[in-house]
Amino acid sequence: MSDFQRVETHDCPMSSCAAPAGSPCRTTKGKVAIQYHTARFRLVPALAKALNVPTPAVRKPGAVWVELPRPAAAGVEPVGHIRIGYARASTARQSLDTQLDSLAAEGITRVFSEKISTRVAQRPELEKAVALARELRTSGARVTLVVHEHKRLGRGIELVTLAQDLKAADVGLQFLTGELQGSHDPSGVVFNVLAALSGMEREYIRDRTLEGHESARNRGKTIGGPTVTNSDMLTMALQMRAEGVSLRDMAPRLVITTGAKKGQHPSPPTIMRMLREHDERAAATATRDLEAAGGH
């Protein structure tokens, strides 16, 4: 059996194609595709690592697509097990090398990776990985999303949402290391437990951080890094605010004069915080003056 016949044993799982078994893949313009879609030929274990599978001349690539009869043996060949990798780092400074190396060691060649915080509502590469897994699963293949460690997927509500997506798509999940190393059924209880523990961990960290800040304030310590503002900067900012200048336009016109950031411009949030603190001090002073005047 030739490669294209092996590929055509399966329906194409790509929603933009959806060519039935026995027919070549098609383009969105209704033409026979020049090569079979990756998601389709990777359903064939022997072709899982192939870069492409060209459409043979007998299928007339580029011609108007027409549906051909399904082969009698359609569905007989095992669809195999497809594993899709995902790697994530929270910041641009963090390296993905360890995660990518562990996925490669498992023989996983299709990997989605990104550098983005779990606090970001949408993670494009994770969404692409889940979408591809869902499309492949519709063809009957067993699909597993493989991750280096469960924390790469997120915490709390992020894991709950992901678990719901995987459960609905009947996609498996595997962790290569960490406390939850191994394969997990997304329909099982592990995701609920994992989400609960992750949510508790985030709340614990938050509470400890707030307690530390409160303790530091009680001791007269300043929270956060060294200030980059001063009275001269405040005076200029107040004048520009009175003239209707926006925070974004103020930033390049103000310069930090001391510290490690000397010579740089303050950010709009820094200017906003400086002005807000000034307004709060001014309001407190005005209140005290009124109270003092009332006492007399």
pLDDT at 149 over 60: yes
208 within domain boundaries: no
Residue 90 annotated to the active site: yes
In a domain, 148, yes or no: yes
Question: Which residue in 15, 90, 95, 198 is the catalytic one?
Answer: 90
Ranked by mean pLDDT, the top range of 165-169, 195-199, 225-229 is 165-169
- Domain that residue 193 falls in: 81-197
Same domain for 152 and 54, yes or no, is no
In sign, the C-alpha dihedral spanning 202, 90, 94, 128 is positive
Strand order from edge to edge, sheet including 142-147: 111-115, 81-89, 142-147, 172-175, 182-184
- Is residue 26 domain-resident? yes
User: What does the pLDDT read at residue 206?
Assistant: 63
User: What is the pLDDT, as a whole number, of residue 53?
Assistant: 92
Write out pLDDT tens, residues 121-140: 688 999 899 988 888 887 67
Which residue did the predictor score with more confidence, 139 or 11?
11
Mean pLDDT of 100-105: 92
Instruction: Quote the pLDDT of residue 221.
Output: 61
Q: What is the mean pLDDT of residues 77-88?
A: 77
Q: How confident is the model at residue 284 (pLDDT cuts 50, 70, 90)?
A: confident
Of the three residues 197, 220, 251, the one that is the final residue of a domain is 197
* Claim to verify: residue 118 and residue 169 sit in the same structural domain: yes
Please give the angle made by the CA atoms of 182, 188 and 194, to the nearest 5 degrees: 65
pLDDT exceeds 50 at position 83 = yes
Nearest to 102 by CA among 146, 133, 144: 146
Residue 224 lies in a domain: no
Given this model, what pLDDT does residue 9 score?
87
Going by C-alpha positions, the residue among 47, 52, 45 that lies closest to residue 77 is: 45
Question: pLDDT at residue 78 above 60?
Answer: no
- The predicted structure's pLDDT at residue 25: 95
75 pLDDT exceeds 50? Answer: no
279 and 174 share one domain: no
Find out whether 136 and 144 touch, Cβ atoms under 8 Å: no
Mean pLDDT of the chain: 80
Q: How confident is the model at residue 98 (pLDDT cuts 50, 70, 90)?
A: very high
pLDDT score of 220 more than 60? yes
pLDDT reported for residue 99 = 93
Q: Are residues 120 and 185 in the same domain?
A: yes
- Same domain for 112 and 189? yes
Cα–Cα dist 124/130, whole Å: 10
Using 50, 70 and 90 to split pLDDT, how confident is the model at 77? Answer: very low
More confident residue, 281 or 148: 148
Q: Would you state the pLDDT for residue 160?
A: 66
Name, of 76-80, 112-116, 195-199, 276-280, the range with top average pLDDT. Answer: 112-116
Q: Does residue 218 lie in a domain region?
A: no
Shared domain for 85 and 74, answered yes or no, is no
Q: Which of 54, 78, 102 is the last residue of a domain?
A: 78
pLDDT for 105 beyond 60:
yes
Residue 207: pLDDT band by 50, 70, 90 thresholds? low
Number of domains in the chain: 3
Residue 187 in this model has a pLDDT that exceeds 80: no
Q: Give the pLDDT of residue 33.
A: 94
CATH number for the domain harbouring residue 172: 3.40.50.1390
